[in-house]
Each structure stands twice: as structure tokens, then as C-alpha cells.
């Protein structure tokens, strides 16, 4: 939800300061997770305790491997303890596979225990152009524009759909077309909006969009609702309120992501 790094500034408490993690509840003991930023720790706090003894299952879809999108993973208790199953999904990079990217973070000297030595069961799925079935959901991935690459996801169940497109910089024709196809007719588009139009010229090429870019993407794809995401860590609640107000003059169905926000689709 917050981009680049967490913040605990009192001026950001309304929208929250954790970096991004989206949770989709498939069943009592199965979750789909999109990215593993510091917001992942709030997911752990709300998980069922005890119960039937069936393992907790996590299908983890990673957009990319920059620090703010993985920093919660080493501290996620189900990963460290036994009795949980993780299946990670993502694309490889020029530097190696998805598994190598994750292992490169969760190991000494950056974390005391290598991820291979944590007690949970883990498997890894390298993505391709084919949709993936996870329970009742269909997940479709698309490669978008960001330094070292980024993956956008569409999550579909029946006629309902939500698209997650964080860390995307608008303006690359191929990426813009891929997102337009991915998000076409979606109920909800969650879109990067780190910058204002005035800030963007000095940040061009950094891999992020403005709130105006997000509105353009929503209009082009014909989505019903737009959620602005990946807020600048220095953006105050008051400033975000003003951005939402301005964006609603163009696209009425706009909100800004808040920590703990629940979307019903």
C-alpha cells in the first residue's frame, strides 16, 4: 500500500504506513497473497489459530523482488514454523530464478536463517503466459513496465475480477497495451499512483505512475472502480485526501488504498 519503504509518521496514520501486501481469503485455511511487504505481518495477526489441525496454505504471487515487496516475508510466522504450505509464483529475472531471488534475501547476513531451513513446506512455480487455477480463482499474469520488470495480476472468480498493477510506469506502449488487456472490464483496478503530475518529470524512468496516469488506465480499460496504490512514503493523509478529491472529478469511482481496507467484489 505504501511504496518504497514503511513509514510511521503521525501524518500518515490514516492511510497507513506498511509496504504492500494484498490478501485474498479462499477458505478458512487457504490464502492468496500478492506481494510480501511489511503489511504481511498484519495478515499473520488475523490468521485462524488452532482449529482442525489442517495446514495453512498460502499461494504467494510476487510482482517483483525489490525490497519493499519482500521485507515482511522473513518475519511471517507461518513461514518459520511447521505445519504451513507455501507455493510461490513469479517470473525469473536476468539475475536468476524466482527461487534464487527470494533465497537471496532470506539468508545471512540479511536474516539469520536461510529460507531453505525454515520449517514450512515450500514450492516454486515459474510463470508463463498461461492462466493458473487456484481453487475457485483464475489468475492471469502480464509483464509490465518497471526497472528489472514487474508482473501485473488479474484475479477472476466467476464474473467478478480484480487487477493488481503496482510499480508500473505508464508510457511504454507495449506495457500500456498489456495492462489494458489485463484490466479490460474489471470490477476493480489497483494501480500505482506514487507521484503527482507535478512531481513526475523529475522521477521519469523510476518505474512509477501518477494518479492521473492511473485514472487514464482505468478509463481505457473500462473498469468500474479504481484504487490508487503505492503511495509515496512522504505523502500525508491530508495530501492523499486531496489527490482522491481531484481524481474523482475525472473518474468518480476512485479511492486510495488504506491499511486494512477490504474490497467486496
Residue 147 and residue 117 share a domain: no
Rounded Cα distance, 103 and 44, in Å: 21
What is the C-alpha radius of gyration for the chain, rounded to an integer number of angstroms? 18
| Helices 173-183 and 211-221, axial angle in degrees (round to 10) | 60
State the CATH number of the domain containing residue 214: 3.60.15.10
> What letter does residue 111 receive in the DSSP assignment?
S
Domain span including residue 162: 128-258
Pairing relationship of beta strands 132-134 and 121-126 according to DSSP bridges: unpaired
Indicate the DSSP class of residue 253.
S
Residue 150 and residue 96 in one domain: no
Query: Is 27 inside any structural domain?
Result: yes
Whether 122 and 184 map to the same domain: the answer is no
**CA distance linking residue 246 with residue 253, whole number of Å:** 12
Within a domain: 80: yes
Dump pLDDT digits (tens) for 178-237.
Answer: 999 999 999 999 999 999 999 999 999 999 999 999 999 999 999 999 999 999 999 999
Summarised one tens digit per residue, pLDDT across range 127-153 is 988 999 999 999 999 999 999 999 999
Q: Are 263 and 186 in contact (CB under 8 A)?
A: no
Same domain, 225 and 109: no
CA-to-CA distance for 165 and 152, rounded, in angstroms?
A: 5
Do 225 and 144 fall within a single domain?
yes
Mind listing the pLDDT tens digit for each residue in 43-59? Answer: 988 887 755 567 899 99
Q: How many domains does the chain have?
A: 2
Amino acid at each position: 500500500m505504501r511504496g518504497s519503504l514503511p513509514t510511521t509518521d503521525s501524518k500518515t496514520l490514516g492511510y497507513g504506513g506498511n509496504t504492500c501486501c494484498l490478501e485474498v481469503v479462499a477458505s478458512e485455511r487457504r490464502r492468496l497473497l500478492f506481494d510480501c511487504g511489511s503489511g504481511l505481518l498484519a495478515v499473520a495477526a488475523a490468521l485462524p489459530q488452532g482449529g482442525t489441525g489442517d495446514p495453512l496454505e498460502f499461494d504467494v504471487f510476487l510482482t517483483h523482488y525489490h525490497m519493499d515487496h519482500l521485507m515482511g516475508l522473513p518475519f511471517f510466522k507461518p513461514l518459520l514454523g511447521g505445519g504451513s504450505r507455501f507455493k510461490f509464483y513469479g517470473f525469473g529475472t536476468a539475475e536468476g530464478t524466482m527461487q534464487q531471488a527470494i533465497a537471496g534475501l532470506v539468508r545471512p547476513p540479511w536474516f539469520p536463517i536461510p529460507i531453505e531451513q525454515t520449517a514450512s513446506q515450500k514450492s516454486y512455480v515459474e510463470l508463463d503466459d498461461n492462466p493458473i487455477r487456484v481453487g475457485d480463482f483464475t489468475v492471469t499474469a502480464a509483464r509490465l513496465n518497471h526497472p528489472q520488470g514487474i508482473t501485473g495480476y488479474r484475479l477472476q472468480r466467476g464474473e467478478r475480477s480484480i487487477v493488481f498493477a503496482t510499480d508500473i510506469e505508464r508510457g511504454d506502449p507495449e506495457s500500456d497495451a498489456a495492462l489494458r488487456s489485463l484490466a479490460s472490464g474489471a470490477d476493480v483496478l489497483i494501480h500505482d499512483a506514487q507521484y503527482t503530475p507535478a512531481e513526475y518529470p523529475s522521477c521519469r524512468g523510476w518505474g512509477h505512475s501518477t494518479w492521473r496516469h492511473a485514472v487514464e488506465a482505468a478509463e481505457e480499460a473500462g473498469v468500474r472502480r479504481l484504487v490508487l496504490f503505492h503511495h509515496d512514503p512522504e505523502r500525508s493523509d491530508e495530501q492523499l485526501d486531496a489527490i482522491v478529491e481531484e481524481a474523482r472529478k475525472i473518474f468518480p469511482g476512485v479511492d486510495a488504498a488504506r491499511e486494512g481496507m477490504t474490497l467486496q467484489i
